[in-house]
Every structure is written in C-alpha cells, then in structure tokens.
Amino acid sequence: MKIEGRNAVAEAIKAGTTIDRLIVEKGLKDASANKIIDAAKSRGIKIFFRDKIALDRESVTNRHQGFIAEVTDFKYSELSDILDLAKEKGEEPFIILLDGVEDPHNLGSILRVAECAGCHGVVIPRHRAVSVNETVIKVSSGASSHILVAKVTNINDAIDELKTHGVWVYAADMTGDNLYQAKLTGAIAFVIGGEGSGIKKLTLSKCDAKLAIPMKGKVNSLNASVATGVVVFEYLRQNANM
C-alpha cells in the first residue's frame, strides 16, 4: 500500500507507521519537505530520491506532492480495542459505525472528521463497503494514522456488542427525530448509512433511536461525511462542559 502527499506521509511517520521505503522527488528544498525528510531519517526509514516523472508513475492518487511512502497493508483494530481505548482515556465510548459506505473519498473524510472530533474509533463492515486504501489515506490527510478502524463481519453484531457495554446507538436517518432536540450524553455510537441506500432496515431496527438533521433546501440528504460531521460535532457541543 502507498501513502501519498505531504500531510499523509508526515502523519504516518509521526504515528510510527512501519514504512518500507520513502520515495522523495529530487530537488525539494523547502522547509516542509526538509522537515519530513529529517523526520524519516531520524526513524531510520530508507529514502530514495527520484525524478518527478518516476513518482508520477508510482502514484495511485496522482497527488503525491513529491512524497510516496510504501507501507504494509493497513492494520485494522478490533471493536474491543476501540472500547479499551476509551477506558484507558477515562472517557465514555464515542464511536462511528458505517453501514455500507463505498466511496473512498467519503471514508477518508469520515476518518478525518472522527479523528478531529476525538472519536475513539470507526467501525466498517468487511463486505460490500470500501476498505482503507491509498485514496482513503490520502483524503484523510493523515488521520488514518491516528484513528482506530475496526473491520467487522456484521455491523448488527457490533451494535449488539456495544449495547452490552452500555453504549447508546443512534442512526442518522431522515425519518428520525430532530438531532438538535435529542440529549446526546454518555456512551454513544452513531450509525451512518452508505451512499444512496442509507442504513439497512435491520440495522435501523437495532438502533436505540433515529436522529434527523433538519434541512431547509430542496435536496433532502447530505453526503455521508458531511452528515457524520454534523452529528459528531453536535455531540461535542452538548458535552463541551463535561
């Protein structure tokens, strides 16, 4: 797998990601480039300087910005790891579950939102959904190196397990109650549906409640990553003084 772009590569180095080799465009001498190179050298990462045309050939995203890091496949976590992280921090679990998100740009943006919001982790299904790939890592701007991602066989089983740990599970769904009238405190997981199909019927039935984002426009739905941002930052707003 390849991590491309300055932010993504810098964050991977900072997070201690195992990097097999780092390919850097020849001639880069700006402060940002030097900082990344110095950080890589300090970790003993093998650096190979190549012409831009060579990086263009290697690039998957076509937006390498002069840096491509080759790493082992993304390391997924278990749902228990996410719960353990919350416990270690002395915090109530704060989790995002994705039901069939297939667009890597959406997943990358969601990981970025989740990391910025301080979520303990993101849960994705093993089948019929996008995995963490080069595009996801690039779009996440380095967040993928700092957020736990659990890949589960069945989202519904994950919801059942979360409930045994006292986590309230809310579905972001347009047929639900007004998000801004809901009391969002304590251990919470938000379920976000995939593009087009939304949250599956059985999964909706597993949730404790459905919450809708009020909208005034003629379009009645939001992009999955935008919807994620709205619900998680409403949770943060309500818990700002806790």
In terms of domains, do 121 and 224 share one?
yes
**Looking at 19-33, 95-109, 177-191, 206-220, which range is the least confident one?**
206-220
CA angle, 204 then 242 then 98, to 5°: 25
- Kindly indicate the confidence band of residue 207, based on its pLDDT and cuts at 50, 70 and 90: very high
In terms of domains, do 115 and 64 share one?
no
Backbone CA torsion sign across 134, 136, 139, 142: negative
Decide which of 166 and 60 is more confident: 166
pLDDT digits (tens, 9 = 90+) for 208-234: 999 999 988 877 778 899 999 999 999
In terms of domains, do 164 and 194 share one?
yes
Span 125-144, average pLDDT: 89
In terms of domains, do 121 and 57 share one?
no
In terms of domains, do 32 and 53 share one?
yes
The pLDDT value given to residue 241: 65
In terms of domains, do 39 and 102 share one?
no
CA 21 to chain centre: 24
Please state the pTM of the whole predicted model. Answer: 0.80
Q: Provide the CATH number for the domain around residue 105.
A: 3.40.1280.10
- Find tokens 């943060």 and name the residue: 236
